[in-house]
Amino acid sequence: MDAFVDWLTNPDNYKKLIERRNPNERKDDIYQEFADYVNMECNVNWGVNKVKNKVQYARTKYNDAKSEGRSIKADTSERERLRIRDRMLDICPDFDRFRVIYTSEDETDDTDGSDSNNDGSDETRRRRVTSVNTGMNPSRGETGGRGRSTNRGRGSGRGRSVGQGRSSGRGRSSGRGRSAGRGSSAGRGSSVGSGRSAGSGRVVVAAPGRSSSRIGISTTGRTSWGPGDSAGRSIGWSDGGNTGRNASSMKKRRVIHSSSDEDESQAQRSCIASQAEGRDTRRLEILETNLSTIVETQLSLKKKLDDIEESRTLESARMGNAVSKGDARREDGSFERRLRQLEEENVEYRRDKEDFKEKKEEFKLERQDFRQEKQYLKQDLKQEKEELRKEREVLRKEREELRQEREELRQEKIRIQAILLENAELRSEIEVGNRMIGHRE
């Protein structure tokens, strides 16, 4: 079983996990110290986002056990371990994606022919990783990977243009990876060629627990060939390292059951507010990433348009020299063809530029909508807090009235007991008097 799951089944570690940080707060800097703590305790190499998922899993298990009234203790039965693994799969989809075969410490990792995925220490146990395709998220393309290591290239190279592929991590993660570099054109093709995407990536994955190996390396090469008068070749490489967050971080957080209805409602409202704020933050981050991509593409298009203008000027100068040398008829025909081709390419690039402008405007509008929605959510939360405060005030007054009524009832009970005691004494005196009267008669 995974080292982290074994670590979680220890009640002392549960206590550390819950008390060390407040999981309701969603800022990364709050989890950074805790991530370092978990990496040191469990000998793993996980980022902040994955630690968030593990914290959510631990809180869910802790709260379930607390609500059911049972103690949290280590359960070594196989059924309990399988149940924990299934719960972990809901939080982290790539947890059980690979079967790990432990080998001797002197053996190297043979997934890529080197030990570059090791963390550098001699004591680290090397692992041989065998990919297991469980059919849950089948691999796409030729990468042979699954989930977050899968690349689906969007956008193909066009003739003289750069191969602009953006690799998106599909599967159960919702992140969008951006290409790490844009290749520059090595020549000018005379026609637009359709780009081909060849997935040549190799997935290198080690199950979390020992070495600091990466969770997926995939490289997609895009090559576009422009046949024509000159050998135009444009090669763009897109590094498909996904930076997406796991979608399971958006799952609902469970609230610790409290004996007081007032505390429970307050905890639920705080949890809902934190979830809404986290969703808005993630949406804004995605929009900013898309806007930066659009700006970079616009700059690239502008540079290409400048190159076209420069090429047109050089062609005009070359044609003037050819006319002066007496070869005007032949050069005139080739120049016209070249000019028409450049104009067609220019029209296409301008059309692409207009499309990017429209997309940029749409993203701006969406960002404004998200900001407005965030303001509305803040206002609603403020109103709910005010209503909750008024409800607490009403409940406090009602409790005070009930306390006064109980005090009055207690005083009334004391008076009734005194009256009953006095009646008993009078009854005894009457009985004594009746006996004396009977004796006299």
Residue 19: predicted pLDDT: 57
Cβ-Cβ contacts under 8 Å for 387 (sequence gap 6 or more) = none
Domains within the chain, CATH numbers bracketed = 3-92 (no CATH), 105-248 (no CATH), 265-395 (1.10.287)
Q: What is the pLDDT along the chain (441 residues), one digit of tens a residue?
A: 355 555 655 656 655 655 555 555 544 454 566 666 666 666 667 777 777 676 666 667 666 666 665 554 444 455 565 666 565 555 555 444 433 322 223 333 333 444 434 444 433 333 333 333 333 333 333 333 333 433 343 444 343 433 344 434 343 433 343 433 343 333 343 333 333 333 333 333 333 333 333 333 333 333 333 333 333 333 333 333 333 333 333 333 333 343 445 566 666 666 666 666 777 777 778 888 888 888 888 888 888 888 888 888 887 777 666 555 555 555 556 778 888 888 888 888 888 989 998 989 989 998 888 898 899 999 999 999 999 999 999 999 999 999 999 999 999 999 999 999 999 999 999 988 888 888 777
Residue 394: predicted pLDDT: 94
Residue 249: predicted pLDDT: 38
Which residue, among 106, 103, 147, has the nearest Cα to 123 in the 3D structure?
A: 106
Cβ-Cβ contacts under 8 Å for 271 (sequence gap 6 or more) = 24, 253, 255
Give the integer Cα–Cα distance in Å for 283 and 263. Answer: 31
Give the integer Cα–Cα distance in Å for 165 and 157. Answer: 8
Residue 101: predicted pLDDT: 28
Cβ-Cβ contacts under 8 Å for 336 (sequence gap 6 or more) = none
Q: How far is CA 195 from CA 158, 228, 234, in A?
A: 6, 16, 9
- What are the DSSP calls for 125-172, one per residue? PPEEEEE---SSS---TTS---GGG-EEEES--BTTS----EEEE-SS
pTM of the prediction?
0.22
Residue 310: predicted pLDDT: 84
pLDDT tens digit sequence for 168-182: 434 343 334 343 334
Terminal CA-to-CA distance of the chain, rounded, Å?
A: 102
